[in-house]
Structures are given as C-alpha cells and as structure tokens.
C-alpha cells in the first residue's frame, strides 16, 4: 500500500478553479477605451489612492534594471496588487530609453500584465505606455485640484519638459475643467518646445502660449508648474525662483535641488516609495537626516488630515504607484471585454494536465 504524505494531499473542500483565457490588448484598443473618459479616470485614481491609504493594496518597491553601457536608460518593474472591486494583481514593465527621441520613436515603452485574483494565472497583456501616461496625468490633475482648494486656482501654467507626459497632463487638466490665461513651455530641445506649443494651438485654447527662453522665466511666470523631464539629478536650484509660492507638480521627481524641497510644503503619493532612488525628496532626506520636511500624502489631503498652507510653494512629488497602473489597466480590460473586442489567444496555456 502506498502512503501519500499529508502535505501532498489536495484540500478536501477546495473550490474549483478554471484557467482564464489570455487576451492581448493593443495600444489602439487602450486608447479607444480611455479616450474622452478623463473625468472617470481621475475618479478611479482617487478611489485607488484611498484604497492604498486604507491598506487594501500591496505595492512593493519598484525594481530598476540599469545598464553599465547605457547609463541613461533603464527598465522598471512595478509589481502590485489591488483589492476593492478590482481584485487584480499584476506587473508593469516599462522602459525609458531617452536616446529613442533622437531616433524618432518615443522614449518610453511598456506592457502591463494582469493576473487573476484566484488562480494567479495571467489573463491579459496590455500595451501600457498609454496607461502609464494616463495614470500619471490623472494623478497630476487630481493633485492640482486637491492642492488648490484653499487658494485661488492658478490660471498661469508652465510645462518644464514638453513630451508625451506634458501633453497628457494638459489634456487631463482641461478635460476636468481647468482653463488658463497663459501657458508657458520650456525644454532643452527648442524643437520639442515648439512642437508642444503647436499642439496647444490646435486645441483651440484661448490662453496666450509662450515658449520661454530660460528656466527661470518659465518658473517665475507660472502659478502652476509641471516638471515632466527625464532629468537624473537636480538642475533647478534657486529657491528665489519660487518666491511667488506656486503649486509644483514634480512628476519627474529629480528636477529640484534639496534646498527648494526644504523651502516648500511637500506632498507625496507614498512616503516610502518617494524617498528612494535619489529623488529630490530622497536627497533632501539624505541632506537633513530626517523626514520632517514632508507634510503628508495626497490621501492625507483628500481625507482632510493635511491642509497645505498658501504662504509657501507646494510641491507634489508622485513616485508613481503600480496600483494605479493596475486600476487603469483593469478598467481598460473591462471596457474592451464589454465591447466584445478582446483578442483572446487560444490555447495560450497549453499543458494543463498534472500528470500528462
């Protein structure tokens, strides 16, 4: 008689599970699912931040793959799990190769894998550069709204860095009701700044559009500043530029010298995530040896625990949480499935019999 070890026995009352079908969702499908739904996505991002703050998510540190022979390039893995109604796990795998721009292709490329909550099986692979830009822009628009509720809403916006992320942030801000009297732009590439200004003209904005010749001119002339660069270390260092107390959406995280961070009110998306990888807040922590310069998270602001003062610059530094990508990715998947447009790969998981 053969004895089966108890540790190898199947659970007596285990629930039956089936392997989910595996679908591939293209960038065109992602864009179709998201286009014109900016307000809904901002609401989704707010709900996800609240879930994260309530502990209904798992969001471990991002993992950076760097290359000694290509120091400006990197690929980042963002694993995450989200509870609530979404109930999904997954991974964003996103590369940033700045040299691509000169070659005529986008800097960033990405895929998002969604995993089934019950079985762990991947059930979708989505093009994710659009998802990543969307969740970044939605987070910025949410922060702009929440961080200006106790001050006059800015009407002069400046974009430092004029690529895809800047375009998405402008789109989201205008879609949720922002309007501007003046829009400024600055980029190390004059061609990029000109292209961004041309794009703004095509949106039929009534704002006066200016391509600024210097960073200082842009900063001093903007009450709402968006940093969306590929900077690897601080390049703006004079706190005096910010003496008019603007709101700064520090999306690219490494633009501001610690002296500017320390002279400002600082709001982050997640403290532990943001104080890593030589971000500007991380450098400020290294300089001071403490975190007292941090005033709280965006969730703290939303929940009324923190009210940003009006007599200092306010800097929002979002590290970018994988749970946000999951939330938007699951939204895209559900929209695509609802329309009956999922591209299912038949027999993707093939050898499913335990003993052949």
Residue 304 shares a structural domain with residue 159: yes
Residue 98 shares a structural domain with residue 245: no
> How sure is the predictor about 15, in pLDDT bands with cuts at 50, 70 and 90?
low
- Give the per-residue pLDDT at 11: 47
Position 290 pLDDT exceeds 70 = yes
Residue 83 shares a structural domain with residue 174: no
- Give the per-residue pLDDT at 2: 42
Residue 154 lies in a domain: yes
Please state at what angle helix 164-175 crosses helix 129-146, rounded to 10 degrees.
50
Rounded Cα–Cα distance for residues 112 and 129 (Å): 9
Other CB atoms within 10 Å distance of the CB of residue 53: 18
Domain of 244, CATH number, reads 3.40.50.720
Residues of the chain with pLDDT > 70, as a percent, come to: 96
- Give the per-residue pLDDT at 309: 93
Residue 293 lies in a domain: yes
Residues of the chain with pLDDT > 90, as a percent, come to: 89
> How sure is the predictor about 43, in pLDDT bands with cuts at 50, 70 and 90?
very high
DSSP secondary structure string for all residues of 35-78? TT-HHHHHHHHHHHHHHHHTT-EE-PPPEEEEETTEEEEEEEEE
Structure tokens at 305: 């625990």
Rounded Cα–Cα distance for residues 269 and 147 (Å): 13
Structure tokens at 289: 């040896």
Domain of 83, CATH number, reads 3.30.1780.10
Number of domains within the chain: 2
DSSP secondary structure string for all residues of 228-272? ----SS--B--GGGGTT--EEEETTSSSB-HHHHHTSEEEES-HH
> How sure is the predictor about 253, in pLDDT bands with cuts at 50, 70 and 90?
very high
- Would you say 156 and 182 are in contact if contact means Cβ atoms under 8 Å apart? yes
Residue 113 shares a structural domain with residue 245: no
> How sure is the predictor about 102, in pLDDT bands with cuts at 50, 70 and 90?
confident
Residue 121 lies in a domain: yes
Cβ contacts of 218 within 8 Å, gap of 6 or more? 158, 160, 184, 185, 186, 212, 225
pLDDT one-digit tens code per residue, 185-236: 999 999 999 999 999 999 989 999 999 999 999 999 999 999 999 999 999 9
Residue 354 lies in a domain: no
- Would you say 94 and 109 are in contact if contact means Cβ atoms under 8 Å apart? yes
pLDDT one-digit tens code per residue, 296-352: 999 999 999 999 999 999 999 999 999 999 999 999 999 999 999 999 999 999 888
Lowest mean pLDDT among 4-8, 41-45, 107-111, 173-177: 4-8
Considering the chain, what is the average pLDDT of its residues?
94
Q: For residue 57, which phi and psi values (nearest 5 degrees)?
A: -155, 160
Residue 177 shares a structural domain with residue 262: yes
Residue 247 shares a structural domain with residue 330: no
Residue 188 shares a structural domain with residue 280: yes
Residue 44 shares a structural domain with residue 190: no
- Would you say 267 and 316 are in contact if contact means Cβ atoms under 8 Å apart? yes
| Residue span of the structural domain in which 91 resides | 20-131+323-344
> How sure is the predictor about 14, in pLDDT bands with cuts at 50, 70 and 90?
low
Residue 330 shares a structural domain with residue 276: no
Of 111, 71, 73, 114, give the one whose Cα is nearest residue 94: 111
- Give the per-residue pLDDT at 356: 75
Residue 194 shares a structural domain with residue 288: yes
Residue 209 shares a structural domain with residue 340: no
pLDDT one-digit tens code per residue, 126-170: 999 999 999 999 999 999 999 999 999 999 999 999 999 999 999
In terms of pTM, does the model score above 0.85? yes
């Amino acid at each position: 008689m053969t004895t089966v070890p108890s540790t190898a026995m199947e659970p007596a009352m285990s629930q039956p599970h089936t392997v989910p079908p595996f679908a591939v969702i293209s960038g065109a499908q992602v864009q179709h699912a998201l286009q014109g739904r900016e307000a809904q996505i901002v609401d989704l991002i707010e709900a996800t931040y609240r879930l994260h703050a309530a502990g209904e998510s798992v969001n471990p540190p991002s993992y950076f793959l760097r290359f000694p022979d290509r120091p400006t390039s990197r690929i980042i893995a963002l694993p995450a799990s989200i509870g609530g109604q979404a109930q999904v796990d997954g991974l964003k795998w996103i590369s940033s190769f700045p040299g691509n721009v000169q070659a005529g292709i986008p800097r960033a490329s990405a895929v998002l894998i969604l995993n089934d909550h019950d079985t762990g099986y991947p059930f979708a692979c989505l093009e994710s550069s659009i998802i990543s830009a969307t969740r970044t822009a939605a987070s910025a628009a949410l922060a702009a709204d929440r961080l200006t509720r106790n001050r006059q809403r800015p009407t002069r916006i400046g974009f430092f860095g004029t690529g895809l992320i800047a375009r998405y942030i402008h789109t989201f801000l205008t879609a949720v009701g922002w309007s501007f009297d003046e829009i400024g732009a600055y980029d190390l590439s004059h061609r990029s700044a000109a292209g961004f200004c041309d794009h703004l003209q095509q949106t039929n904005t009534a704002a006066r559009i200016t391509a600024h010749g210097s960073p200082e001119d842009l900063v001093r002339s903007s009450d709402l500043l968006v940093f969306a660069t590929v900077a690897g270390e601080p390049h703006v260092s004079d706190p005096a530029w910010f003496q008019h107390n603007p709101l700064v959406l520090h999306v690219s995280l490494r633009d501001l010298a610690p002296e500017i961070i320390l002279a400002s009110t600082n709001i982050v998306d997640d403290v532990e995530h943001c104080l890593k990888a030589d971000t500007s807040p991380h450098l400020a922590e290294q300089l001071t040896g403490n975190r007292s310069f941090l005033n709280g998270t965006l969730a703290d602001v939303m929940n009324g625990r923190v009210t940003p003062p009006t007599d200092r610059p306010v800097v929002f530094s979002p590290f970018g949480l994988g749970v946000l990508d999951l939330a938007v990715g699951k939204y895209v998947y559900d929209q695509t499935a609802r329309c009956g447009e999922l591209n299912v790969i038949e027999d993707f998981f093939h050898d499913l019999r335990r003993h052949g």
